[in-house]
Every structure is written in structure tokens, then in C-alpha cells.
Amino acid sequence: MINKERCSFIFLLILAILDQMNASLFSVDFTYSSLSFVSHLCFCGCILVVSHEKSLNRLLYACLCGLCVGLFFTSDWFFKMILFGLFGWLSGLFKNAMDQDHWVQFALVFLMMFINDLICFLGAKLFGYLTMSFVKWFIHVEALTLIFNGAWIFVLLYIITVFNRYATIKNIRFKRMEKLHMQNIRRKWVVDSFPSFHIC
């Protein structure tokens, strides 16, 4: 039987490492003289993974994911924890719509990613970390960020869909084997207890 929680943890850890690798290989140009992008694979993966959990579990799992990403890969752990938790919890509100169509899943995750970036941009503007205009930020950073992560959302959806089908098949087979095992135990008990009793 497949442990989904452990597999989800490993999956998100891999995505967080890929985010860090992308950040190292394709660092953001803070002079904003050229195009840059920010990798949000772990954020998008987290939204897709926790969307089927119960309300409190969604919030806790997403907050924990954001906290770990913030502590081990960036320096803004509190902000990451809040944003991951917020969007992780919100994703469950659209669970039924997301289950019906992959395009809806894509659109919701894509929109949440953009709103997440917009909140970060507005926060940086508010506290004086950024002085550029919204248009310049969108052209030089956000546009390529949306394209890069948008393409990856389809990949993540495919991976998660395949894994869920595989896990469902494995769990069904496990339950069938468990049921057969219990039936064999009952038959053996009847035969041992009543030697003269014949089971057809």
C-alpha cells in the first residue's frame, strides 16, 4: 500500500530543490535591464497536492511546506508560510471544479501563482524594497515567470494524475490480496476446527 503523505513530501522536496537550482542557474536580474523569471514549482505543486485534503489539513500542510521552503531555501520563512497556507487553504474551496477539468486546475493554480507574485510585489513596494513600476516589473520579471511556471503546471498535473491512478490501482490490489488472505485464514480455521466439515 502506497503512503501518499511520504510520496507527497518527497515530490515537494524535489520541486523545492529544482526551484533552488533554477534560482542559482537563472538568477533574477535586479537591475531589471534584461528579462528574468522566478521558479514556483514547489508552490504550484503544493497547491495541487493539498487541494484534496480537509480544510485544517490543507492549511497545516501548506503552512509547513512554506515554512520549510522559507527556512531551508530562502530567508523569508514567515511570509512563505503565510502565503503557502493561504493559497493552500483556498485551493480546497474549488476542489469540485478542479476535479472535473484539468483546464480548471491549471487556471486556478496559474491565477493563484500570479496573485502570490502580485502580493509579493505590492509588499516590496509598500516597504520600499522596490521602486519600479508595475508595468516594468511585469515585463521584465513576471511575464517570463508566468510562461515558465505555466508550462510546468501541465507537467505537474500529468505527474500527479499518473501517480494518483497508480496509487489507486495499487491500493485496490492490496485490499483484494488482504481480503483473499483473510478468507484463506477463515478457511484454514474452519478446516482445523471441524476436520469432518468439507468446504466446497
Is residue 133 in some structural domain? yes
Contact assessment for residue 191 and residue 199, using Cβ atoms and an 8 Å cutoff: yes
The distance of Cα 156 from the centroid of its chain, to the nearest Å, equals 8
Q: Domain range spanning residue 28? A: 4-193
Walking along the chain (200 residues) 10 residues at a time, the average pLDDT comes out as 80 93 87 88 94 89 92 84 94 84 92 96 88 91 96 95 86 77 72 58
Is residue 200 in some structural domain? no
The string of pLDDT tens digits covering residues 73-93 is 877 888 999 999 999 999 988
The string of pLDDT tens digits covering residues 162-180 is 988 888 888 788 777 877 7
Is residue 11 in some structural domain? yes
Is residue 198 in some structural domain? no
Is residue 199 in some structural domain? no
CB count, 10 Å around CB of 138?
17
Contact assessment for residue 83 and residue 119, using Cβ atoms and an 8 Å cutoff: yes
Burial class (CB in 10 A: 0-12, 13-18, 19+), 104: middle
| Number of domains making up the chain | 1
Is residue 137 in some structural domain? yes
